[in-house]
Amino acid sequence: MSLFAIVRCDHANAPVKFHCLQVLALALVLCASGCIVIPTPEFNSGQARGNITKETPAQFEVGKTTRAELVLALGEPDAVSPDEHIWAYRSEKIRAIVCFAGYTTAACGPITKDLYLLLQFNEQGVLQKIESSSHWFTSADSDKMLPAAAGSKAATTDASLSARLQKPAFWLKGVDGYKPRGAAQMRGLPGKLLLTDANLQFFADVPKGEFANIAPTGPELILPFAAITAVRVDSYGFGGRRLVVRTSANEAHSFEISKGFFNDAEALQSFAEFIQGKINR
């Protein structure tokens, strides 16, 4: 069979993330190691929406089409930025099936190509820019595609300006370090922990699967340093660390700051020392 049959190179469809040469090289490597690539007619994978094609952008007019007109034509977007200025649509097409065979086992899977449509609107909701791009084999990261959606939310911007320390973190409400029994297995709420000169703030991330535009507009937790009576870093097992603060109302809050697979002991210590310095005053 022809290796070249699986690749439909489309240089006009820039920016193509996976170039033709790379696809050919990969196919060559795969086939040399005992696999078959079966080209298929392009069809929707069924997992993503199927109503986005390369011809879709031509339906809309920059400077004229409104957000309402666009959504009436294409349906609910797949992602939006917190300010709703950027909308994204994604379709996933299967272009070939690849089968690997060993001495005793065999497995097959699809070769997919994602098509993305990014639409930018102005304050009045009028289309300003359309960009289409494609991605082979895996999906592009929606957080990178819509950078504003990657952070906790737009509301963190003001707080970030006055923050002395800030890190992505997990908040365990009402948890006192690794106590009581079972607390070690608890997973906190993901978000961002900020320390300003006056208080501790925690901003929750947008829940997975929700549109970024419905993010809450304020911090989930604000603890003035005057209300914090004690701070410490608790350890547990191999590398487990949590920042623990206790308040004058006898409430406990724990925070985890991760660095790769482990807790960031250095960052936790810095946060603890900063808070300690504030509550000693």
List of residues contacting other proteins (CB under 8 A): 44, 46-51, 67-68, 71-80, 84, 90, 125, 139, 141-143, 208-211, 213-214
Q: How far is the CB of 261 from other proteins (least distance, A)?
A: 17
Q: Which is nearer to other proteins, 77 or 177 (CB)?
A: 77
CA distances to 29, 99, 108, 111, 140 from 94, in Å: 20, 14, 13, 6, 16
CB of 115 to other proteins, least distance (A): 12
Report helix, strand and coil shares of the chain as percent, to nearest 5: 25, 40, 35
- The CB-of-141 to other proteins minimum distance in angstroms stands at 6
Task: Name the CA dihedral angle for 162, 164, 168, 171, rounded to a multiple of 10 degrees.
Answer: -90
Q: Which residue, 90 or 242, is less far from other proteins as judged by CB?
A: 90
- The least CB distance from residue 150 to other proteins, in Å, is 10
120 vs 247, which CB is nearer to other proteins? Answer: 120
Task: Please say which residue, 125 or 168, places its beta carbon nearer to other proteins.
Answer: 125
Residue 73 region by backbone torsions, left for phi larger than 0, else alpha for psi between -120 and 50, else beta = alpha
CB of 256 to other proteins, least distance (A): 20
Q: C-alpha angle with apex 188: 187 to 191, nearest 5 degrees?
A: 135
Do the Cβ atoms of 194 and 255 come closer than 8 Å?
A: no
Nearer to other proteins, 90 or 95 (CB): 90
Structure tokens at 279: 């509550």
